[in-house]
Amino acid sequence: MHVKIKLKAGSLTCFDNFVSTLHSKLGIISHSDVDGFVSALLAYKFFSKRCKVYWPIFLDYLGFDLAIRKLIRASHLAILDIGFDKPELYNSHHNFLIVDHHPFKHDLNSSNVCFIKTRTETPASLTCYGLFARHDSSIKQYDWLVALAIIADYTFKHNKEFVKFIASKYGYKISKDIFNSQLGSFVRLLNLAIIYFHNNYARMFKMLLKLNSLNALYKVETYSKIVQAEIDRLKSEFYERRECFNDTYIFVFKSRFPVTGTIATLLSSEEPNKTYIFVGDIHGEQYASVSARRQDGNIDLPLLLKEATSSINCISCGGHRKAAAARISRNDIGKFVENIKKLVKQ
C-alpha cells in the first residue's frame, strides 16, 4: 500500500540527499518499544543494501550521548522515534537522519541533519515505511509489522485505512476494539517479548529479523507469557495498594521487568477521566521509571511531571499530553509522590 506522509519538518529531498551521501558506515539508534523496533528493522533492511550497518542500539530516552560515542566510526546515523530535542546533541561529525513524531520545540534541520518530523499520530515506523519504500519496494513485505506498530502506539484511529488494508491482505478481521482483535493479540506478543529482553535487545532484534509473518510471532510467546504473569500480579496489587487523591491514582511498585508504561496504559483505559501515576522500582535498573496516563486528555501530563520533578534528581521527563514518562533517582521516589499529591490537591 502506498503511504503519503505529511511532514511538519524536513522534506523528501533532504532524505534523498542523506541516502545519496552514504559512503561507508551507518549506525541506528532507536526507541525500545514496538514502534522503535519496527523502525529500526526497516532502517536496517533498507540501509544494509547500501552500506555497512552497525547493529541497532535501543534506548528508553537515556544514554544518547554514550550511544553516539559507541558509533564514532559511523559516518551516518539514523535516529528513530527517540524525541531528543537538543540541537547540541547533533554537533558531532556524523550526518544525521532523524525520523520522529514526538513533540519538538526546535527544527533540527541543518547542513548535517535531515530532520523528518510528522504529526504525533503518525508513528515513526509508518514514516520510515513510506520513505524507504520510495527507493526500495521490497520494504513493503514488512507492512504487517508497521500495522502492529500503529496499534501499539495508539494511533489506529488516525491510520485506519492502512491497518484495515493490512488486515484484509493477510486475512484478519478488525473489531471495534482493535486491541481485542487478532492483530491486537499479535501486538501484545511483540510488546511483551521486547520487555522480556530488556537486558538483551540485540537478541530480540535478531529474533525479529527472522520472523516473516504474523503467525511467526508465536515463536516469542514463551517469553511474552512470563511478562504477562508479572503484569497480572501487578494489576491485582494495584487494586489493593493504590492511593487515590482527588481524581488521581498513585501506585508505587517493584518488579523484575520494566513494565511501568505497559501497566499504566492497560489500567488507565478503565477510567479515562482519572490521572494514573505509576512509579516502578525495577530490579537492576539505576533509576526509577515513572509513567503517567490520562486518557481524556484533560491534564497536561508532561507539565505535571515536570513540576513534580523540579525539586528532585530527574534524569529525563517528557511525552505527550495523554501519556508521559520520567526517570528519577530511586532515592527520590518518596519525595516525587509527595509532590504529585500536592499538585493534584491544588
Strand partners, 277: 250, 292
Separation of alpha carbons 109 and 204, rounded Å: 32
pLDDT tens digits for 207-247?
Answer: 999 999 999 999 999 999 999 999 999 999 999 999 999 89
- CA dist 232 → 13, 224, 263, 331 (Å): 48, 12, 9, 27
Separation of alpha carbons 7 and 109, rounded Å: 13
Separation of alpha carbons 327 and 153, rounded Å: 20
C-alpha cell at 186: 499479535
Domains of the chain: 7-220 (3.90.1640.30), 242-345 (3.10.310.40)
pLDDT at 226: 98
Separation of alpha carbons 307 and 301, rounded Å: 10
pTM above 0.85, yes or no: yes
Neighbours of 2 (CB within 10 A): 8
Separation of alpha carbons 267 and 138, rounded Å: 38
pLDDT at 3: 86
- List CB contacts of 239: < 8 A, sequence separation 6 or more: none
pLDDT at 60: 82
pLDDT at 127: 98
Residues of the chain predicted below pLDDT 70: 346
Separation of alpha carbons 291 and 280, rounded Å: 8
**What burial class does residue 141 get, using C-beta atoms within 10 Å of its C-beta: 0-12 exposed, 13-18 middle, 19+ buried?**
exposed
Quote the crossing angle between the two packed helices 201-210 and 182-196, to the nearest 10°.
140
- CA dist 61 → 65, 71, 84, 326 (Å): 11, 17, 8, 9
The answer to whether 105 touches 17, Cβ cutoff 8 Å, is no
**What burial class does residue 46 get, using C-beta atoms within 10 Å of its C-beta: 0-12 exposed, 13-18 middle, 19+ buried?**
buried
β-pairing verdict for 76-80 and 323-329: unpaired
Q: Does residue 55 sit in helix, strand or coil?
A: coil
Q: Where are the alpha helices (DSSP H) in the chain?
A: 12-20, 34-47, 64-70, 124-135, 143-152, 160-170, 182-196, 201-210, 221-241, 260-268, 301-308, 333-345
The answer to whether 257 touches 234, Cβ cutoff 8 Å, is no
For 268-330, give the DSSP string.
HTT-TTSEEEEEEEETT-SEEEEEEE-TT--S-HHHHHHHHTTTS-EEEEEE-SSEEEEEEEG
Separation of alpha carbons 300 and 104, rounded Å: 16
pLDDT tens digits for 185-201?
Answer: 999 999 999 999 999 99
CA 277 to chain centre: 19
Separation of alpha carbons 313 and 86, rounded Å: 20
For 66-86, give the DSSP string.
HHHHHTTT-SEEEEES-----
Q: Does residue 101 sit in helix, strand or coil?
A: coil
